[in-house]
Structure 1
């Protein structure tokens, strides 16, 4: 199900965690110190890491900070310790740790923490994938403009190579979003496009749009006014 790295200097804990996680169907790699953990992280990708705080060579918090500074902290990390203070746990969380397990670790707490960590990793991967897809979908627009720009720059009288006709505008047209904007502005832009799409598809019928979007009509009207959606235009386009 998932690739998990367990880092702990105690053999008994490594074996126990490995046995439990293997029984849950996960693939588990083991490291007994920070040196082995670095090598494992460089050699593969993990969906989750269980990291002990107190180790003989480099402590877990320092290793966590090292991964965060070098861009290697791409997976949730669950810190483990039987002697850590609250300050240590807070520091680890500030650096980027997902959660903290106090030893001795009960089976129920372990499985719950692992489940939550893997769920977070799935969300992170989906967000990264969506951002990559949006960037890939936006790039052809830039590429299509390059031949014409090159012709103008060279002073050539020859027409630029013909480009495929643009897709017709309408409810089925692709909506591009500027992901460099602040979150609030990006969210408002998406919501406006979302409601305009459904209004166009439903012919401006507020009743059908309310059913499709799962909003009450009063809330829907308020939301559309807030976003600046032109209801008259959608009705005219449907006529």
Structure 2
């Protein structure tokens, strides 16, 4: 699990980024302006910061420059803006910004930039390597290559005399279907390390529908992250 700071004066963007990054297993602090960002940075060592450029008190580029001058720019900083010019992005990069994301930010670009930023941070600080490695290793990929009996055992499914591919077929259709769906979602949660964002992409469901479905089936969300 990585420690991240999201700085943006728009509540909707802060909440959205926080939800996505929390689903990825990260710890996320929020700041709505440069003043709060300074306080948070002075109190914590972050693995990565997402920093908006246009803010009401101090703009993000000035704050980035301030951190660089005072020795606090020890983590990758990803700049965000919906109105910045190319010159602004170039200036931020020269000061020390790791990357620049243009709003509206797509999920794919966000996750890719964060992943690359954390990898850069891990390569620079040995202690961070251990922390990031422990946080980013999801359920073992060989799970996808297990035989049917092994997969059934790993998901604690009934492999009795009426079972077919690990499912008890000697049950009413609705119960059998619910059993399959529960195992299906548990499998994808385990494979994606508990990331609801990636499971939603894999299964083709909206996040709200996915949450509702998992609660209905009694799926243990914490289990996917533990695995």
The TM tier, using the shorter chain, reads: 0.5 to 0.7
SS in structure 2 of the partner of residue 13 of structure 1 = helix
SS in structure 1 of the partner of residue 28 of structure 2 = strand
Q: Is residue 2:9 matched to residue 1:9?
A: yes
CA distance in 2, matches of 1:127, 1:25: 18
- Partner residue, 2:138: none
Aligned length: 129
CA distance in 2, matches of 1:101, 1:109: 8
- Partner residue, 1:21: 21
8 Å Cα contact 2:8-2:33 kept in structure 1: yes
- Over the aligned positions, Cα root-mean-square deviation in angstroms equals 1.5
- Partner residue, 1:100: 100
Q: Is residue 2:31 matched to residue 1:31?
A: yes
Gaps of 5+ in 2: 130-227
Structure 1 residue 127: deviation in Å?
9.9
8 Å Cα contact 2:121-2:128 kept in structure 1: no
SS in structure 2 of the partner of residue 122 of structure 1 = helix
Q: Is residue 2:117 matched to residue 1:117?
A: yes
- CA gap 1:128/1:24 in 2 versus in 1, 3 angstroms: closer
CA distance in 1, matches of 2:127, 2:64: 23
| TM-score normalised according to structure 1 size | 0.53
- Partner residue, 1:79: 79
- Partner residue, 2:183: none
> 1:191-224, CA deviations, whole angstroms, 9 ceiling, x for partnerless residues?
xxxxxxxxxxxxxxxxxxxxxxxxxxxxxxxxxx
CA distance in 1, matches of 2:97, 2:25: 24
The higher radius of gyration belongs to: 1
1:1-239 matches, within 5 Å, as 1-126=1-126
CA distance in 1, matches of 2:74, 2:92: 15
Structure 1 residue 123: deviation in Å?
0.7
- CA gap 1:46/1:128 in 2 versus in 1, 3 angstroms: closer
Gaps of 5+ in 1: 130-239
SS in structure 2 of the partner of residue 22 of structure 1 = helix
> 1:24-77, CA deviations, whole angstroms, 9 ceiling, x for partnerless residues?
000000000000000000011100000000000000000000000000000000
CA distance in 1, matches of 2:67, 2:83: 23
CA distance in 1, matches of 2:109, 2:51: 15
CA distance in 1, matches of 2:123, 2:96: 16
> 1:80-103, CA deviations, whole angstroms, 9 ceiling, x for partnerless residues?
000000000000000000000000
Structure 1 residue 126: deviation in Å?
3.0
CA distance in 2, matches of 1:124, 1:4: 17
> 1:93-119, CA deviations, whole angstroms, 9 ceiling, x for partnerless residues?
000000000000000000000000000
